């Protein structure tokens, strides 16, 4: 199974099946070292927090916070921050990072589809490439708006279908297909879909195209980094029989025919999207900032 392919609007799937999907997702995101990947893309969170124009003293909820990029950025603005995720090890990393900067945040293991807070509990609700991966997109949109006070801010950063990360998900999905009949997470990067999901719960909805540039020494370095640290990629290689774990900092072996094909696919994808002319790798990856006011 390609865990990052996304599971949403799953017609005909029972709650039991959905819970099973989420259990697999938890294992996936706990594998590898997502904290390393999050550190690489931390500018996305910094820019979103600035775009959201948070005010000191605001109660801010970071949904699917991971290792705390957006939560810590909000804390730097003087906000009172609660970081949630359904992977406890990621919240542990967020706690360590916040403590290193002498910030006191609240942390809670929570499902983005069923947030344990009363209506209107927060002045702002944010999520950076996090809530987009939850199985039921409609529930997520409802929960993000429910826990935000009327007049409060909802802010997301989501990868787009046509961007590099969207291409990478499709590339992996061709080798390790996602379950049939589901919608992918990068639909959260499509403006029509975003407007459909939030509907009349929000006003002043803005979808702002942005670009993050991945920088690596060479195409193989990017591929090795993601198959070692990014749980969904790591699990895809495992599904193809091509990983025996990370040993002394080296990436897992690519020791199966399927794994070699996927590895070559990813190296080719990186090369095709590379705009560097000096032998290194620079890959523009499209994402959107979603900014809205709770009605």
Q: What percent of the chain has pLDDT over 70?
A: 90
Q: Are residues 22 and 109 in the same domain?
A: yes
Q: At what angle do helices 191-198 and 137-146 cross, to 10 degrees?
A: 60
Based on the domain organization, do 11 and 57 belong to the same domain?
yes
Residue predicted with more confidence, 10 or 60: 60
The whole-angstrom separation of Cα 294 and Cα 54 is: 14
Number of domains the chain is built from: 2
In this predicted structure, the answer to whether residue 82 has a pLDDT above a threshold of 50 is yes
State whether 229 and 269 are in the same domain. Answer: yes
Count CB-CB contacts under 10 A for residue 261. 15
Kindly report the number of other CB atoms within 10 A of residue 145's CB atom.
22
The dihedrals phi and psi of 60, each to the nearest 5 degrees, come to -120, 130
pLDDT at 18: 82
Q: Which residue has the higher pLDDT, 244 or 97?
A: 97
Tell me: pLDDT of 295 over 80.
yes
Domain of residue 18, CATH code: 3.40.50.150
Q: What is the DSSP letter of 202?
A: E
Predicted pLDDT of residue 256: 84
Residue 23 lies in a domain: yes
Determine contact, residues 155/291, Cβ cutoff 8 Å.
yes
pLDDT in tens, 216-253: 999 999 999 999 999 999 999 999 997 554 433 445 55
In a domain, 197, yes or no: yes
Say yes or no: 227 and 141 in one domain: no
Q: What is the pLDDT of residues 100-109, one digit of tens each?
A: 999 999 999 9
Q: Tell me: do 194 and 55 sit in the same domain.
A: yes
Residue 248 neighbours by CB distance under 10 Å: 4
Same domain, 95 and 9: yes
Give, to the nearest 10 degrees, the angle between helix 88-100 and helix 15-30: 40
- Whether 82 and 148 share a structural domain: yes
pLDDT at 245: 47
Read off the pLDDT of residues 189-199 as tens digits, 9 standing for 90 and up.
999 999 999 99
| Domain span at 76 | 3-162+178-212+286-294
Judgement on whether residues 141 and 226 belong to the same structural domain of the protein: no
Q: What is the mean pLDDT of the segment spanning 27-45? A: 97
pTM value? 0.92
Which of the residue ranges 41-50, 205-214, 238-247, 255-264 would you say has the lowest mean pLDDT? 238-247
pLDDT digits (tens, 9 = 90+) for 254-264: 668 999 999 99
């Amino acid at each position: 199974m390609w865990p990052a392919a996304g599971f949403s609007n799953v017609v005909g799937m029972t709650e039991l099946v959905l819970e099973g999907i989420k259990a697999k997702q938890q294992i996936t995101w706990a594998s590898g070292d997502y904290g390393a990947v999050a550190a690489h893309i931390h500018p996305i969170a910094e820019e979103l927090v600035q775009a959201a124009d948070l005010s000191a003293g605001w109660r801010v909820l970071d949904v699917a916070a991971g290792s705390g990029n957006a939560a810590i950025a909000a804390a730097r603005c003087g906000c009172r921050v609660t970081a949630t995720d359904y992977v406890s090890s990621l919240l542990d990393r967020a706690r360590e990072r916040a403590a290193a900067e002498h910030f006191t945040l609240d942390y809670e293991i929570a499902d983005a589809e069923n947030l344990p807070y009363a209506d209107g509990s927060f002045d702002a609700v944010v999520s950076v490439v996090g809530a987009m991966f939850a199985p039921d997109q409609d529930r997520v949109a409802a929960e993000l708006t429910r826990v935000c006070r009327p007049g409060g801010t909802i802010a997301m950063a989501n990868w787009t279908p046509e961007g590099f990360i969207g291409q990478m998900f499709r590339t992996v999905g061709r080798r390790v297909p996602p379950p049939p009949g589901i919608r992918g997470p990068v639909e959260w990067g499509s403006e029509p879909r975003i407007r459909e999901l939030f509907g009349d719960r929000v006003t002043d909805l803005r979808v702002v195209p942005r670009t993050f540039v991945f920088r690596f020494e060479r195409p193989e370095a990017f591929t090795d980094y993601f198959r070692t640290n990014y749980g969904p990629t790591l699990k895809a290689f495992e599904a193809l029989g091509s990983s025996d774990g990370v040993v002394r900092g080296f990436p897992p072996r690519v020791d199966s025919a399927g794994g070699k094909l996927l590895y070559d696919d990813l190296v080719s994808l990186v090369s095709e999207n590379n705009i560097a002319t000096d032998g290194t790798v620079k890959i523009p990856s499209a994402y959107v900032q979603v900014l809205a006011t709770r009605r």
